[in-house]
Amino acid sequence: MSHLRYAVHAYAWTTSWSNDTLGLIDHTKELGFDLIEIPLMELEKIDSAKIRDRLTAVELGVCTSTACSEANDLTGEDETTRQRGVEYLEACVRATATMGGTTLSGVIYSAIGRKIDGMPDERYWERAAKGLKSIARMARDHGITLGIEPINRYETFLVNTCDQAFQLMQMIDEPNVAVHLDAYHMNIEETDFYAPTKKAAPHLCHFHLSESHRGVPGTGTVDWQSIYRALGEAGYDGVVGLESFTEVSEAMRAATCIWRKLALSSDYLLQEGLKYLKSLEKKWYR
């Protein structure tokens, strides 16, 4: 029996979630995953009740994620922008709760892709912490945990490492705020994989098991043995997930920077990746 619950990001197949893509819930179940991760960037297209009904019908779990934009940036330069960020993330919390999820994670602390002049000072950290503290208190009433995902320097100026995620989590100081690691970003920003994984494990709500080139796990430079050794030693028994952008649309190509075919198909990547990751789980979990 698996100790971990394996999710797959819907971006493996589609760049825009709507009722037209509800069949991906069934497909996720067919491929042997435990959850589907649904992106909430286009919240107006999300029909949470229909998602919940389809999930229930096939007995599949769900988690959600998002990335804030400059229009709803908690670290934005004006109060109106920051308030839009709070309202947007609160709407994401409600959508997650309605579809039956318990975690909302991702780049929820600042606008993805935003560049600033100079090093980020305390203003940015304090703005992010203030907004997320308010959202976390609201989320707790809905049974939702917020996950802070560190991503690489080219995509955010604020939270690049596990240590920085802990810094923000401690500033927020709410019990339902956790860490969401991603091996793709760790491969750029961390000095190793074992130490941050071991540190994060007691506070982890999700882990994107993405290869260094976003192809099939086990075919790049990510140190998967160290990740699974740390998770196994810590007894982590939560959600991990595959996030792949193999079959990207032209609209999403510039955002993901996928310029070549990384696998025969998304299904091939996911099936081979899941097989490899479960073999590691079998080795490192006693």
- List the alpha helices (DSSP H) in the chain: 23-30, 48-58, 79-99, 122-141, 162-172, 183-189, 194-200, 224-234, 250-256, 266-284
Q: Taking all residues of the chain, what is their mean pLDDT, rounded to a whole number?
A: 94
Q: pLDDT at residue 265 above 60? A: yes
What is the model's pLDDT at position 16?
86
What is the model's pLDDT at position 119?
93
Q: pLDDT at residue 264 above 90? A: no
- b/e 199-213 (16+ beta carbons within 10 angstroms → b): bbbebbbbbbbbbbe
Residues whose CB falls within 8 Å of the CB of residue 276, separated by 6 or more in sequence, listed in order: 216, 217, 218, 224
Q: Give 254's pLDDT tier (boundaries 50, 70, 90).
A: low
Q: Which residues pair with 61 in a beta bridge?
A: 35
Q: What is the tens place of the pLDDT at every residue in 154-182?
A: 999 999 999 999 999 999 999 999 999 99
- Tell me if 140 sits within 8 A of 176, measured CB to CB: yes
Residue 210 is part of a domain; what is its CATH number? 3.20.20.150
What is the model's pLDDT at position 238?
98
Q: What is the tens place of the pLDDT at every residue in 73-124?
A: 999 999 999 999 999 999 999 999 999 999 999 999 999 999 999 999 999 9
What is the model's pLDDT at position 255?
58
199: domain range?
Answer: 5-284
**Residue 148 DSSP symbol:** E
Lowest mean pLDDT among 45-49, 173-177, 204-208, 245-249: 245-249
Q: How many domains does the chain have?
A: 1
What is the model's pLDDT at position 245?
67
Q: Measure the CA–CA gap between 90 and 158, rounded to whole angstroms.
A: 21
In order of 140, 194, 237, 238, the CA distances from 4 in angstroms are 24, 18, 5, 5
Mean pLDDT of 275-279: 97
